[in-house]
Amino acid sequence: QQQVKQSPQSLIVQKGGISIINCAYENTAFDYFPWYQQFPGKGPALLIAIRPDVSEKKEGRFTISFNKSAKQFSLHIMDSQPGDSATYFCAATQETSGSRLTFGEGTQLTVNP
């Protein structure tokens, strides 16, 4: 049962452009929404995370937008760089249930020079 749906599956952006990745969730008990970045041959690394009591969180070039009523959240990468080329996963968890992570299917981002 896929509880977190992610789109698009792949994304190609020019250097300096904005990359946008979207996720939707079903379980309203989720209370923590992290984004992970994964390079080939490596494990996922936490990029940025948000809780449902805020609508936006920004860290450097990375911003999460969160819409609780629509059960959707998105990652925006401003001024995308070739070094941002990686696979990005959204995830969701419910801290009271042990914080197991439910991941989306992933988005392979390519930033062309």
Partner 1 sequence: ETGVTQSPTHLIKTRGQQVTLRCSSQSGHNTVSWYQQALGQGPQFIFQYYREEENGRGNFPPRFSGLQFPNYSSELNVNALELDDSALYLCASRVGAGPGYTFGSGTRLTVV
Q: Could you tell me which of 50, 71, 51 has the C-alpha nearest to residue 59?
A: 50
Binding of partner 1 at residue 29 (CB under 8 A)? no
Site string for partner 1, 44-63 (x = CB under 8 A): xxx--x--------------
Edge to edge, the sheet with strand 19-25 lists: 4-7, 19-25, 72-77, 62-67, 56-59
Decide whether 17 or 71 has the Cβ nearer to partner 1. Answer: 71
Alpha-carbon torsion (15, 33, 105, 4), positive or negative: negative
| Alpha-helical runs (H) found in the chain | none
In whole angstroms, what is the distance from residue 76 CA to residue 62 CA? 6
- Contact segment (CB under 8 A) with partner 1 among 13-21, 31-39, 62-70, 73-81 equals 31-39
CB nearer partner 1, residue 56 or residue 95: 95
State the binding string over 83-102 for partner 1 (x if CB under 8 A, else -). ------x-x-x-x-xxxxxx
Provide the minimum distance between the beta carbon of 19 and partner 1 in the complex, in angstroms, as a whole number. 18
Q: Which residues here bind partner 1, judged by CB under 8 A? A: 4, 6, 32, 34, 36, 41-46, 49, 89, 91, 93, 95, 97-106
